[in-house]
Structures are given as C-alpha cells and as structure tokens.
C-alpha cells in the first residue's frame, strides 16, 4: 500500500538532521507527498544541496536552515526562523543526532555535552514550542526518532543509549498530553541503519546492509511515516530489529556484564 497524506490541512513539515541518512529519506518522502519542507542541519552546503534536490525532484517549496542544534539557544532560534518565513509547522520530525562509542568516563566531555544537548534538550524544546502551536490549531504530528537502544542499557553507549531512552519516555508523555487536542506523537525506534552515523573505517556499513543486519534509511523512513500518519505510538521497523530488541530485553544483566568483561572493544582491568 502506497503512503498517502493523512490530512490535506497539514501542509508544512520540519525535519532536523535532514541532509543525510534517515532525516534525508524522511524529507524526500514528505516532499514526494507534496509537503512544503523546512530542512535543518548544522552542515550548510549539504542542507542546501538536499533542499535543491528535493525541490527539483518533487516540485515542492523547500527552506534550508543551517543551524547548530547542539546549542542552548537553538530551539528558540529555529522556531523564530520558521516564523520569519511565515510558515506554520504541521509536522515536526526530531531526527538530528550523532553517535560515539566508548566508556562514559573516557568520553570527550565536549562531545558528550553536545550529544545531550542535541538528543535531549533541543528536541524537547522544539516539541514544546512547535507543539504549543499545533495545540492551538488542534492538529499536527510529531515524530521523535529514538533507537532500539532505548529498551536496554549496554556498556559503551552510556550517553547515546540513555539519551535515546529519554526521547522514548518523553514521546510517550507528550503523546498523552497532546492527543486530546488532536495532535499525534509517534516514536520511531530504528535499529542499526546504513547511514553516516557510523565510521565506515570501523563499521562495515555496506556489507551489513547487504547482509540485512542494517536497514536502508529509506525503509526506516517509510515505516516511521506510515506509523505516524496512522497515529501509532511507537514504530520499531523491521522484523530482525524487533527480534534483536526482544533478545536484548530478555538477556540477563549478568550476561551483559560478562560480555563487557570479555569485550575486546572496551578497556579491561584499567588497561
């Protein structure tokens, strides 16, 4: 079944992290459905290129905004930038993020701070600002991109996994709050996806994609938007991803601790 617009009154979509990966795929799919797009990213040239490509392909208006969302002022600045363009956002997609692996105490603290700002603070404030506008109009959708790491804590992803767990919990609370006003909130929780989130020199992304261990971002985007338009609370795309999530939930903590002690990719006994 092809994806269709759920409500012709909804006209404008804002996607963060829209120049690559899942965000770019979501933006392209929304453009194909005829939505006017606001595309936000901290990478100026790629977001301009993405906006031109989507506009040329689908004949829709696109508004690229180069903005570093890992700053305390970012949510207010982005909300103001959208208002200055005379646009009212009907669909908010909080997707921007990045990844690093390693023990929390060894993390670059500046990077850790940026991750928490980008994954936790900014999307929460964007939801508050744009959600307030949607509530007043009594319509709209919010799609919050979390991760299957929100279901289980693992060593090596303390900052990333915990931030994604926050997003899942926040999405559930926000959904209950806004549903009575006609505003839907959906949490998209993909597993490993073949995007630039991973360093190809460390993770064999293309091989993992061919083997089916990683999903294509286009499939994740399609599943997430389908769930959002259907008003679903959560979407974990892909049968293998759902199986991996269940396995992780059912794995006893002593097993995880044993794997940590034996893991070659983390330090052991202080070395």
Exactly one of 35, 160, 166, 198 is catalytic; which is it? 160
Cα three-residue angle 191-35-39, rounded to 5 degrees: 60
Q: CA 48, CA 53: separation in Å to the nearest integer? A: 9
Q: Check if 160 is active-site.
A: yes
Domains by residue range for the chain, with CATH: 12-262 (3.40.50.720)
pLDDT of res. 1: 45
Per-residue pLDDT of the chain (271 residues; tens, 9 = 90+): 457 665 677 899 999 999 999 999 999 999 999 999 999 999 999 999 999 999 999 999 999 999 999 999 999 999 999 999 999 999 999 999 999 988 999 999 999 999 999 999 999 999 999 999 999 999 999 999 999 999 988 888 999 999 999 999 999 999 999 999 999 999 999 987 666 665 555 555 565 555 555 688 999 999 999 999 999 999 999 888 888 889 888 888 888 888 777 766 676 654 4
């Amino acid at each position: 079944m092809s994806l269709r617009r759920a409500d012709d009154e909804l006209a404008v979509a804002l996607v963060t992290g829209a120049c690559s990966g899942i965000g770019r795929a979501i933006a392209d799919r929304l453009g194909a459905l005829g939505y006017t797009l606001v595309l936000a990213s901290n990478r100026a040239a790629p977001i301009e290129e993405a906006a031109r490509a989507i506009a040329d392909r689908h004949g829709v208006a696109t508004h690229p905004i180069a903005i570093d969302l890992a700053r305390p002022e970012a949510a207010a600045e982005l909300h103001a930038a959208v208002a200055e363009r005379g646009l009212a956002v009907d669909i908010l997609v909080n997707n921007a993020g990045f990844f690093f692996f390693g023990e929390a105490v060894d993390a670059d603290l500046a990077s850790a701070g940026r991750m928490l700002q980008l994954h936790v603070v900014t999307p929460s404030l964007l939801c508050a600002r744009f959600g307030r506008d949607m509530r007043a109009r009594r319509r709209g959708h919010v799609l919050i991109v979390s991760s299957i790491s929100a279901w289980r804590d693992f060593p090596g992803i303390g900052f990333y996994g915990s931030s994604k767990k926050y997003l899942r919990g926040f999405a559930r609370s926000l959904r209950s709050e806004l549903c009575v006003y006609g505003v839907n909130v959906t949490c998209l929780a993909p597993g490993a996806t073949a995007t630039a989130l991973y360093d190809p020199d460390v993770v064999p992304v293309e091989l993992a994609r061919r083997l089916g261990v990683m999903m294509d971002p286009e499939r994740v985007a399609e599943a997430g938007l389908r769930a959002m338009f259907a008003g679903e609370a959560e979407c974990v795309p892909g049968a293998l991803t759902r199986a991996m999530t269940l396995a992780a939930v059912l794995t006893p903590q002593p097993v995880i601790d044993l794997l940590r002690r034996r893991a070659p990719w983390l330090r052991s006994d202080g070395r």
